[in-house]
């Protein structure tokens, strides 16, 4: 069942990410890596701490395990719990949005380097942050809908719903913003921000009918009526702290990025993030989201539960590594090709030099891609075991390392070595990857102590890295020899060649996941139904 759930989550995420790429391509076309692009991408990040703090991750770790256990055992209590959690979120979100609106100038003082950003750029960013804060709060309610739907094993809609958010931004740009010239970029990004808020409302509305259908008539409920609420809150608060650590890390990264003395750094990092989070979201979130309710339902004595979790983790680790290893190597060797194909458009503001800059950032991000993806899965396992403290400790270590190493690599080293400031952006993402590996090692060690040893053996992992390296070399040869092709044509040659080579080698090496993928591909082309 978890494999089918992973497929549905992955399908929903793929749809939302594809429309996200369209959104980001439009923004790159009209803004390039300009001051306005920096302002908009920064404004998206600051209110997003609310969505990421209280949203999907925190709710998944606390609400889903308790709610999923109640479904089928006491449906009335399940509805009371869902209503009580909704009440808590409404109060918390409303308060934080109001506080955020009032505190926006102080947030700007804290997070933006005035020695690099002009007063006009800062003022535009502050305006956009104020517009976007309510939308981020509404997104938390969308995460509540996702929690209800996932617990009922309805994965597709909840993860595809961001499509309407992206469509709202795309529509606002095409209808109201595309006729504005380069001298009106401030109006353009304001229109995009308003579209994002409208999209947040739509994202909740498209999920509500399905929530009512599977969960019944769930209304905000008095907190004391839900017996399970104390359990959820006790798990929620440490998880919020853990998510808070992640958000502090993101905000530290934002401050460091805004301190790099060149225009377009924040926009370049955001564009790279759209690309490298695609495999993390598509595979890491898909597997983790589908596994969490199943792991939470495991019953029996400690030995039985541990054995069941080990089996699940070994299978999930194998699936994730199979897809993430070639993704990381592909970004490292073909990042410029991918960035050019996605963001460079005829007559647009995003140029070849911008694609090369995004490639540098993307290559740095590739260093920690596997660690961050597996880290999601292992953190979800701790949540299923009702342990939120261990992921918190690991996250705090990563935050500290990211801040110290990121500042050294991004701000201190480039001038000391006499190299371009753009390499500081790559240093920032690469050191975040190093910190991610340390967090991953801590999480895995903690799980092994808790449930016993699990994971891929060295030979299996070596097969994946060998196949990925050969495939990356094949893609690189095409990239070097196809330099005269337009970006899309070159990507259509190099990227599929990389993927086909990887699949062929892993199949020859008898990697199990390669056989599963091959069967699915054959069924698609022969008109069969993909196995779930």
Going by pLDDT thresholds of 50, 70 and 90, the confidence category of residue 41 is very high
DSSP for 329-360, please give it: HHHHHHHHHHHHHHH--TT-S--HHHHHHHHH
What's the rounded mean pLDDT across residues 160-187?
87
Is the pLDDT at 358 greater than 80? The verdict is yes
Q: What is the pLDDT of residue 277?
A: 81
* Least confident among 3-17, 244-258, 486-500: 3-17
Task: Choose between 289 and 471: higher pLDDT.
Answer: 471
* Residues 32, 347: Cα–Cα separation, whole Å: 11
CA nearest neighbour of 224 among 88, 342, 124? 88
Share of the chain above pLDDT 70, in %: 86
CA nearest neighbour of 5 among 155, 162, 211, 161? 155
pLDDT in tens, 388-445: 788 888 888 998 999 999 999 999 999 999 998 889 999 999 999 999 999 999 999 9
Task: Choose between 278 and 94: higher pLDDT.
Answer: 94
Is the pLDDT at 259 greater than 70? The verdict is yes
Q: What is the pLDDT of residue 301?
A: 64
Number of helical H runs and strand E runs in the chain: 20, 0
Is the pLDDT at 384 greater than 60? The verdict is yes
Length of the chain measured in residues: 532
Asked if 423 contacts 408 with a C-beta cutoff of 8 angstroms, the reply is no
Q: What is the pLDDT of residue 223?
A: 58
* Residues 440, 253: Cα–Cα separation, whole Å: 19
Asked if 100 contacts 50 with a C-beta cutoff of 8 angstroms, the reply is yes
Return the ∠ at Cα 327 (arms to 441 and 507), rounded to 5°.
100
Is the pLDDT at 235 greater than 70? The verdict is no
Burial status of residue 59 (CB atoms within 10 A of its CB: 0-12, 13-18, 19 or more): buried
Going by pLDDT thresholds of 50, 70 and 90, the confidence category of residue 531 is very low
Asked if 390 contacts 446 with a C-beta cutoff of 8 angstroms, the reply is yes
DSSP letter assigned to residue 531:
P
* Residues 308, 299: Cα–Cα separation, whole Å: 9
Is the pLDDT at 486 greater than 80? The verdict is yes
* Residues 56, 166: Cα–Cα separation, whole Å: 18
Going by pLDDT thresholds of 50, 70 and 90, the confidence category of residue 1 is very low
What's the rounded mean pLDDT across residues 175-182?
79
What's the rounded mean pLDDT across residues 443-459?
85
Task: Choose between 150 and 288: higher pLDDT.
Answer: 150
Domain chopping of the chain, boundaries: 2-456
* Residues 32, 336: Cα–Cα separation, whole Å: 15
Is the pLDDT at 56 greater than 80? The verdict is no
Provide the token pair at 464: 């994946």
* Residues 178, 150: Cα–Cα separation, whole Å: 38
What's the rounded mean pLDDT across residues 153-169?
85
Is the pLDDT at 176 greater than 60? The verdict is yes
CB neighbours of 298 closer than 8 A, spacing ≥ 6? 304, 305, 308, 309, 384
Q: What is the pLDDT of residue 476?
A: 94
Asked if 151 contacts 118 with a C-beta cutoff of 8 angstroms, the reply is no
* Residues 431, 406: Cα–Cα separation, whole Å: 6
C-alpha pair distances (Å), 471 with each of 47, 323, 364: 40, 13, 20
Chain position carrying tokens 């080990």: 310
Asked if 388 contacts 429 with a C-beta cutoff of 8 angstroms, the reply is no
CB neighbours of 413 closer than 8 A, spacing ≥ 6? 419, 424, 427
Q: What is the pLDDT of residue 161?
A: 86
* Least confident among 1-10, 144-153, 222-231: 1-10
* Residues 221, 229: Cα–Cα separation, whole Å: 11
What's the rounded mean pLDDT across residues 213-221?
77
pLDDT, mean over the chain: 84
Highest average pLDDT, of 58-62, 181-185, 331-335, comes from: 331-335
Is the pLDDT at 309 greater than 90? The verdict is no
Q: What is the pLDDT of residue 284?
A: 58
Q: What is the pLDDT of residue 471?
A: 96
Is the pLDDT at 6 greater than 80? The verdict is no
């Amino acid at each position: 069942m978890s494999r089918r759930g992973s497929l549905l989550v992955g399908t929903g995420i793929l749809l939302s990410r594809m429309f996200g790429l369209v959104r980001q391509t439009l923004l790159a076309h009209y803004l390039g890596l300009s001051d306005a692009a920096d302002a908009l991408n920064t404004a998206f990040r600051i209110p997003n701490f609310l969505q990421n703090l209280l949203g999907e991750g925190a709710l998944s770790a606390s609400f889903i395990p308790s709610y999923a256990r109640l479904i089928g055992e006491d449906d009335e209590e399940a509805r009371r719990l869902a209503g009580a959690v909704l009440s808590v979120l409404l109060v918390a979100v409303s308060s934080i949005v109001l506080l955020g609106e009032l505190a926006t100038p102080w947030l700007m003082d804290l997070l933006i380097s005035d020695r690099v950003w002009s007063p006009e750029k800062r003022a535009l960013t502050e305006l956009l942050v104020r517009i976007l804060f309510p939308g981020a709060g509404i997104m938390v309610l969308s995460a509540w809908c996702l929690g209800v739907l996932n617990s009922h094993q309805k994965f597709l809609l909840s993860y595809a719903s961001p499509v309407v958010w992206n469509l709202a931004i795309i529509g606002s740009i095409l209808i109201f913003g595309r006729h504005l010239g380069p001298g009106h970029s401030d109006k353009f990004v304001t229109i995009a921000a308003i579209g994002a808020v409208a999209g947040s409302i739509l994202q909740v509305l498209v999920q509500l009918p399905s929530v009512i259908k599977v969960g019944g008539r769930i209304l905000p409920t008095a907190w004391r009526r839900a017996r399970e609420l104390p359990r959820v809150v006790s798990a929620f608060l440490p998880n919020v702290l853990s998510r808070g650590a992640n958000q502090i890390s993101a905000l530290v990264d934002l401050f460091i990025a805004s301190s790099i003395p060149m225009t377009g750094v924040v926009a370049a990092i955001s564009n790279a993030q759209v690309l490298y989070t695609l495999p993390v979201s598509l595979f890491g979130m898909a597997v983790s989201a589908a596994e969490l309710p199943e792991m939470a339902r495991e019953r029996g004595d400690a030995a039985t539960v541990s054995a069941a979790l080990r089996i699940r983790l070994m299978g999930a680790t194998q699936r994730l590594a199979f897809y993430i290893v070639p993704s990381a190597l592909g970004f490292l060797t073909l990042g410029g090709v991918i960035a050019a194909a996605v963001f460079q458009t005829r007559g647009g503001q995003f140029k070849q030099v911008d694609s090369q800059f995004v490639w540098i950032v993307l290559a740095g991000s590739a260093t920690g891609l596997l660690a961050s993806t597996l880290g999601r899965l292992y953190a979800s396992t701790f949540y299923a075991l009702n342990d939120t403290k261990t992921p918190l400790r690991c996250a705090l270590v990563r935050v500290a390392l990211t801040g110290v190493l990121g500042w050294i690599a991004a701000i201190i080293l480039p001038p000391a070595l006499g190299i371009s400031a753009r390499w500081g952006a790559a240093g920032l993402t690469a050191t975040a990857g190093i910190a991610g590996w340390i967090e991953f090692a801590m999480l895995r060690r903690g799980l092994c102590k808790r449930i016993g040893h699990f994971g891929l053996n060295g030979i299996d992992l070596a097969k994946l890295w060998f196949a990925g390296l050969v495939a990356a070399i094949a893609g690189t040869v095409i990239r070097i020899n196809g330099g005269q092709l337009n970006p899309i044509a070159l990507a259509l040659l190099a990227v599929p060649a990389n993927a086909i080579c990887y699949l062929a080698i892993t199949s020859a090496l008898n990697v199990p996941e390669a056989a599963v993928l091959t069967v699915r591909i054959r069924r698609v082309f022969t008109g069969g139904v993909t196995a779930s």
